[in-house]
Structure 1
Amino acid sequence: MASGDQDPLLLLRQSIASGSTILPTASADPSAPEVKLSQATHLTFVTPSRVSLPIDTPTRFVSNDTPVDLRSIYFAWLNREVAIPEYNTFASQLNDELGGKGQVRKFAFVERLDLITWLEGASEESEYIKPLAGDRDGTTSTAAAALASKGAAAPAIGATVGRSGKGTVDPRLAVIYNSERKMGDRNSVLRGIKPTDFSHVRKHAAQFMSKKPLHPSSSNISNNPSLATHQKPRRPDPIILLSPSASSLLRMSNIKSFLESGQYVPPDSLAASSSSGASMLHINRLMKEIDPNRPMRFILVEGPEQFKPEYWSRVVAVFTTGQSWQFKNYKWSNPTELFRHVPGIYVGWRGEQPPESVRGWGHRVLNIGVDRWKETGLTGMDSSRWRDREAVEGIWKMIESNMRSKGWRRDQAPSSI
């Protein structure tokens, strides 16, 4: 199959799902040997059939209205486990080795997280990935991505995935289509195959609709016709900032188990070591007062080094140890000013007074105490930590209350905080 008939993103995701080899090569020949990424001119995929694509091929992943090349996508995947500062350092080193023959794009942390999540198959949609050509509603690309995440062969861009009789259909898709339940249209469901005129119902409904106020979102669409032809933008994920201090009781290694499971473990314990190398995490939490039907995904990071200005409107909480150097690179470096916009959270040992700096910042910093850790048994787990969940619920209650007051809704986020 010609390289022009293959989508680079789907090929990469399919290869990751199947665990097949991806080789940087210095030739368009699919059998060429592997070379260093700085010397590569092509990227060779072994599955489903051996095919090589130019490494500077533009992809459907768009950053700042610019398609990102295949080399940058592949480099971000290779360095998915490293922290943002190391990732930026490695990218600069590779750019030096390329010597002007190419340039690796450095992703912002939200773009990088979104890309890695999609490539791993944990998400079937991405706000940064455009649909395939001729697939405005995303049906073809979503179906192909779903097959790729299961290790199936992704259809070529030029192949017809539908059942119009034109082109070819992947055999796996054909099996799925044959099992589909046939659905009728509006007329056949309501009154059989004979079209029925329901225009008279509009006259009866007019007296009720005129008295009902328009929903703010529908009013905005009616005032701006251009919005009515586009899909509603996805609500962005809220962000929680952690303290990078080594003295913090909550770090990237144990924050997920604390906020999701309601149990505290020391950040350097064996139970918390699985997330110790992560530079960002995401957790899910059902915020009933904002959206009772679907959980919200929160992004957790230790610092705002890769923040764009608009990311600050998504920050919903800041964990602190009371050390003001933590806020040096924040939008508001003065703690008093910071906690007027974003609520703070201090977690210390139960029964101990918080630092004087925390007390001086006022009621906008929530003081939470947890019981001291006691090593018990061979597993090192303390089974008596039943009060941890109470502390966690207090934190989430404060975050949810603040989010509601700032304008977080089921389908929108605030433009400023």
Structure 2
Amino acid sequence: MASTSAAPAAGAASSLPDALSTLRASLPLSTGCWSDASGVSVESAKATHLQLSGHLFPRSTATRLVRPSAPDNATPSTAPQHFYALDDLVFASLSRDESYAAYLLAANRTEGMAGRHLNALERPRVLRALEQEGEMELSEAELQRRLEAPSSSTAPAAQAAAAPKRAYVPSPADAAFVKRLRTQNVEVVLRTRSHALRGPRAATGATADFASAHKALAPLLRGATTGGAQSAPASRAAAAPAAGQPKRRRGDPIIVLSNAPTALLGLSNLSALLGGGVYMPRSSGSSGETMLSLERPGLPNGLRQRFLVVDSTEALARLGAGGADPWERVVAVFTSGQTWQFKGYKWSEPRELFRHVMGVYVRWANDARAPSVRDWNVTELAVDRTKRHTDKQLVAHFWRSLDAWVARNKPDLAPRGAVEAR
């Protein structure tokens, strides 16, 4: 068998036909197509050639099947890396009936094929191209045209070599401009970063003289210096309080209740709920008060706070001692949903009122919310009719909401230390 195949091998280098056409004519292939340089069949791992239709091809022969990334002027002889090698196509054709996983495993286990396998998208396209001509194939006519066309890398070099060299002639206008810059000394030479702050005067050596301006402003500067030094101690003495003079006492925060007969909370039962954590009906409490003093329970670290509670604008006006506006100390307004309650208030419109104070809407837990309060910025307290064990949770929610509102809007009315006298 070696003697019969040696003849084709002798003249293979000079008279080999087109590798792709020969491969198509040899389909279907067998494993006996792998051979050595003498044409003897060997294993694919040891093969250096491929014997197809009586012709012996080197296994690395580039075919006319173009890879996707090939440039437009590439040919198998000038850029073989952009074309599929013959052994890649043969290995893919021999394993065409196997799954891609089996083909990939066989390629990685075969010496010379590891890392050269076709990907999952290339493999079906290449197998179809082996059976019929398609867009992946570089036709023989196109191949001949590319071989006859000048190379893109050599054409510009040839044109550049053919172009005559011209001597550089500087522009007269540019030369005159540069000469003017040098003679008139208007160019600022930046030697350090400090030169950029000096301006065009730095190039000529001139300096700015502010002596006249300093002389004109000197009397004003002396007067401002001496006058400020003399008035500073007097102003500090005026700002400091006199020795022994008591500081101005801060007023207690105020809560305004609704005096509607249907309101769940009034002066008679507010202390029982907010102070003791138990709701009592208004009818069971005493009546006739105009103002109530409520001590805030449960403050930590020895803090204490007293609230003044009123249910009318007349009682509120009596809390404005010394001409102070009592509304500056109002932190919460309780409402039952009636808009007539706000007549006579500093802000009679509910939306505006509850932008300046915290609104509290109290209702029975099983009653529907009043339609009028839907657009008001109020904190809702829903009192259960029978479950008194839920009252403490309701009261804790109220105090947390009030503390947060006061800290955010009126921090000067926050709780103070227990050592402050009432």
- Bin the TM-score by the shorter chain: 0.3 to 0.5
Considering only CA atoms, is the larger Rg found in Structure 1 or Structure 2?
A: 2
| Structure with a larger share of its residues in helix | 2
TM-score computed with the length of structure 1 as normaliser? 0.39
Normalised to the residue count of structure 2, the TM-score between the two structures is 0.39
